[in-house]
Each structure stands twice: as structure tokens, then as C-alpha cells.
Amino acid sequence: MPIPFIDLQSQRQRLGQPLEDAILKVVRSGAFIMGPEIGQLETALGEFGRAPHVLSCASGTDALVLPLMAWDIGPGDAVFCPSFTFAATAEAMPLVGASPVFVDILPDTYNMDPASLDAAIEAVKAKGELTPKAVFAVDLFGQPADYPAIAAIARKHGLKLLADSAQGFGCTLNGEHPIHWADVATTSFFPAKPLGAYGDGGAVLSKDPLFHDLLVSLRVHGQAVKSDIEGKTFEHDPKYLNVRVGTNSRMDTIQAAVLLQKLTIFADEIDARNRVAARYAEGLSDVVRTPTVIEGGVSVWAQYTIETENRDGLAAHLREQDVPTAVYYPIPIHKQGVYSVYPTAPGGLPVTEAASAKVISLPMHPYLSTDDQDTIIGAIRSFVS
């Protein structure tokens, strides 16, 4: 039987009847939209991720767009982000009319290079065509970006800092979650993410109550929220007062019910992922380049990504032995047609381009058995030697 790349069925079996009961409870209640599980999930996510405010929303992509809307970022504005990431990171900017500016990564962690970020901001300022507004750092493959360094640069230039933690929800640096440094942290509950739902979903974690209030309004068509109506009187129910242009980005109650169940085992799953990662490193670090995690960081291992010169040969060899692999990401975003029009950091993105030619990700999930892992390790060793 082929080894699964991600095994959601073992997790479902572990969660058992309570998971199915939780889904059925929503079905029977009829509260499909904004049912009580939504608020319960937002509270639980805030406790887990140590954030005072959490907004659930329709996807990890919307979780990136909603803060841009709340900050009123749009045409003529620049938002700095890595190019070595999933397209959604950079897609959020054009969706509000703003421009992404691509920054290079560090060769060891694949996360944003603070020096490249600083140089890119200086270059955009010097050119004077775009106004720098925000930085989107990404917790790629599950590990935290270098937030102390990135936050210092964002602060120096007066920019907002958002942590795109779609792959990294639960990761820490020196015991702190990304929101400790960032103004906003976002995540995705796409099923294959470390904390995934049974459909789409996302969340925005934040620290400022007024900003959160604005997100609540934007999530439901710009409806008037507490801060809009306080101290005022209305002729009609202010529920149908739309005070800004928003969107519909509600998460389904069923997804919240699923996530509440999954959160109960998430810390344990992160530990299990770290055991799998440690075992890979032990079995492979002398024959391929295994991942480096930032000092003081704990990854949630969305991916276990190695580097090798003959990536295609290795993938074919592993496929023959029923071991699946994947390449994240073969084409950096700044090399994709529609994104190639946007600026890059001075000197281009050589580290990004080199990494995209060499990386390959191995099966990674909390339920990977030691036997299956030995098969994978053995297959890689037999190819390399």
C-alpha cells in the first residue's frame, strides 16, 4: 500500500465518535452560519495562540485580505512579502489594488531575509512610486520567521507587520507565538494544513480591539459594529446599517465544530510531528540537506523539506517504491506571469531561485509510523549512495 503524504484518516479514527457527533449536532441545530461553535472556536484559538482577539473567516486567503482592507491599503501602496511561498500570500495585495514587493529568503530556513527586506523598503522609498505600508512575513513549512529582526525593521519604517502563519499556526520562537511581534497573525484551515478543517476556513489573530471590531464588520458586508453605533440612536435596526464596503467571509459552523475537536489533540500532534522530523534528521542528515529550524524556534512541520541536486531522479526513485513526494514551490511567485510585473528586492532573489530548483518535501504527518519512515529513509539512502 502506498505511504500517504498526509494521513487525515488516522486522525479521524483517533477523534472517533465525538467528532461525528459534533458535526451532527450542528446539522440538527440548523445554526449553519454563526452558530455558537464559531465564538467557542475563536476563544479556543485565542487561548492556544495567545492572542486577545480572533476572527474566524472563510479562508486563509481572506484572512490576509481582511487586514489589508481594515488598514485601508490599496492602489499606490506596497506590501513586502517573500516570493518563496504559496501564491495566496502575494495574491492578497492585488486583490485590494496594492502592489506586492518580493523579498529574498534565508538559505537555511527559507523564511524572509531581514537584510533583503530592509533593502527592498529603502529601494521602494527611494524610487517614490509606491508607499510602503506593511510587511507579510511567512512561517514557511511550519517554522517561525525571524520576528525579532523583521519586527524591528517594520517598526523602523513605520510599517504594519502581518504573520502569514497558514502553515505555522502553533509555531513558537523563544516560547512566543508570532503575534507577540506581529500586529496581526493569520492562518488557514485548509484540510492539509497542520490544523485543518473538513473544508475551507481561516482566522485573523490580533491585539487591538478596534482593529478586531473593524474585521468583524468587514467579514459581514461592512455591517455596523459596536464602535460604529455606540452613543448613537437609530431609526432602524442598525443590524442592516452598512457603514463600509465589506465582503462575506464567514466560516461555516460545521468547520468550527470540527476544529474544536481537532484543537483538543493539536498540541500532542505538534509533538508527534517533531518526533517524526527528528527521526528524519537522524536518518538522512548525512546524505541530503535536512531542514534547519531557527534557533529557539519550534516548527509545526507543515512540510518536511530536504534539498538535493537530483530532485527529479529522487522523486522518480521514490515513486517506484510507493513513496510520494511533492515540490513546494517549483516556481517562485515573482517568476509567475501575472506576478512578474511587481518589484523585487535590489539584486533580485537569488536564494529563492536556487531553493526552488532543489527542494523536495517528504511525507509528514503526526501518524507516520516508524516502519513507514524507515522505508522512506531507506529508499532515499539507496538512491543517494
Ligand X SMILES: *Cc1c(COP(=O)(O)O)cnc(C)c1O
> How many Å apart are CA 320 and CA 364, to the nearest integer?
19
Q: Which amino acid is at 58?
A: A
Nearer to ligand X (CB atom), residue 168 or residue 222: 168
Least CB distance to ligand X at residue 4 (A): 19
Least CB distance to ligand X at residue 241 (A): 29
Sheet strands side by side (includes 99-103): 53-57, 202-206, 184-188, 160-164, 131-138, 77-82, 99-103
From 193, 226, 239, 358, the catalytic residue: 193
Q: Is 96 helix (H, G, I), strand (E, B) or coil?
A: coil
Least CB distance to ligand X at residue 202 (A): 5
Catalytic residue flag (residue 193):
yes
- The alpha-helical segments, DSSP class H, found in the chain are 8-29, 36-49, 60-70, 88-95, 114-127, 147-156, 209-219, 226-229, 253-284, 311-320, 350-358, 370-384
Nearer to ligand X (CB atom), residue 85 or residue 325: 85
Q: Using CB under 6 A as the criterion, which residues of the chain lie in contact with ligand X when the complex forms?
A: 59-61, 85-86, 88-89, 138, 164, 166-167, 188, 190, 200, 202
Nearer to ligand X (CB atom), residue 71 or residue 328: 328
> How many Å apart are CA 139 and CA 60, to the nearest integer?
13
Least CB distance to ligand X at residue 138 (A): 5
- What count of Cα atoms within 13 Å lies in the side-chain half-sphere of residue 219? 25
Nearer to ligand X (CB atom), residue 118 or residue 164: 164
Do 217 and 242 touch, CB atoms closer than 8 A?
A: no
Which residues does the annotation mark as catalytic?
193
